Amino acid sequence: MTIKSTISLLALLVLVVLIYISLPLVFNPDPEYQTELKYGKPLPIHIQSVLTPTVVPKRIRSIMVLKDEKVLYEYGPTDKIMFGASTRKSFLALLYGIAIEKGLIDINKTLAELGIDENTPLSDQEKTATIRDLLMWRSGIYLPAKGEHDDQITMRPSRDSHKPGTYFFANNFDANALGTIFIQETGYSIGGFMEEYLAKPLGMQDFDSDNVIMGNPWFWPDSIDSKHDMYNMYLSTRDFARIGAMVANRGRWNGAQVVPENWVIESTKPHSDLTNNHRSYGRYDAFGYVWFIDNDTGTVWTDGYGGHFMLIDLARNLTLVERNFTGNSYLSTGLWLMNGNFDQSLGSLIKAHQLIVQSLDGEK
């Protein structure tokens, strides 16, 4: 082989690799069931100025505010598919509410009754945990889990130190096992169920079942030996916000009950007091069924690593969302990880909510 042909072959290999690592993990679909969001009266300029970045963000950011199913504010590429990190857990909890109403799941069943175990076998005490315990992050199961972060590792209690149902711990075992159980009990993939019973009724614009990827979507192998995979959800900001607006309206969308109202109410109740817990959860002082709660402002939250936040004000049918693009390919994800800049404006989101509340209360 000549030097010229060798160089050409190497150039071709580099090109192939670049194309491969640049391919999106999830493509933006064009579902037949999609419907356009409606727009209401825009937020006052002084509130918009709080939400609108004053400098060009280093990362792709999108922000939305919805009230009564109508968009009041929109910034950035709200149609762009983004990885939502831990926000997946709250969305799966909504699917549980639908599955329970359909008689597919009994959340009072124990792991023993469900036949759920782990590669490191669960103890007899751990197997008494119910689905409800997992939804409250009170399983009492303290084993390594896929996708866990530093606090879940360094602050993990010893095994069998707390009986199921008695102690809150933000544990990825609970979140991931809920995915395993959901698939087992419903007979659906999470993406398939989500498309049929959430995306279609909501008229989501950028979703199909392939938006949920089971297992590790990244380019490094899992170091955790577990039966229970992560379920990774990729959603556009406008679909993300649409889900929040449905929750803010107690499970209703466009006049139809999508998620049972009683499940929305029960899920967003403070089942766990976080003020006397083993660690600080910042603005959150309570936890429901995979929803964080801020009792001071009467708001419900889900958030995800990398700068994904959704604030829901049920009393005012109001939803505020901020998203940051953390990659949708091996290349873009790797670049984001190396940069480590979330460019988040959570303080602006909280301040905007305060101003909107003042504005709405002043109109009464």
Reported confidence tier of residue 121, pLDDT bands at 50, 70, 90: very high
- Domain-located, residue 116: yes
Mean pLDDT along residues 200-217: 93
pLDDT at 266: 97
Tell me the per-residue pLDDT of 257-285, one tens digit each, with 9 for 90 and over.
999 999 999 999 999 999 876 677 788 99
Average pLDDT of the chain? 92
Order of all β-strands in the sheet with 231-236: 81-83, 231-236, 212-214
- Torsion angle of the four alpha carbons 73, 343, 171, 221, in this order, in degrees rounded to the nearest 10: 120
The verdict on residue 12 lying in a domain is no
How many domains does the chain divide into?
Answer: 1
CATH number at residue 207: 3.40.710.10
For the ranges 72-76, 317-321, 328-332, which has the lowest average pLDDT?
328-332
- 177 vs 281, which has greater pLDDT? 177
Please check whether residue 331 lies inside any domain of the structure. yes
pLDDT over 70 at 339, yes or no: yes
Model-level pTM?
0.94
- Digit-coded pLDDT (tens) for 8-41: 788 888 888 888 888 888 988 999 999 999 999 9
Q: Is residue 203 situated within a structural domain?
A: yes
Q: Is residue 2 part of a domain?
A: no
- Domain containing 266: what range? 26-363
Separation CA 229–CA 173 (nearest Å): 9
Q: Look at residue 321 in the predicted model and tell me its pLDDT.
A: 97
Asked, for residue 3, whether it belongs to a domain, the answer is no
**Mean pLDDT value of segment 282-310:** 94
pLDDT at 205: 98
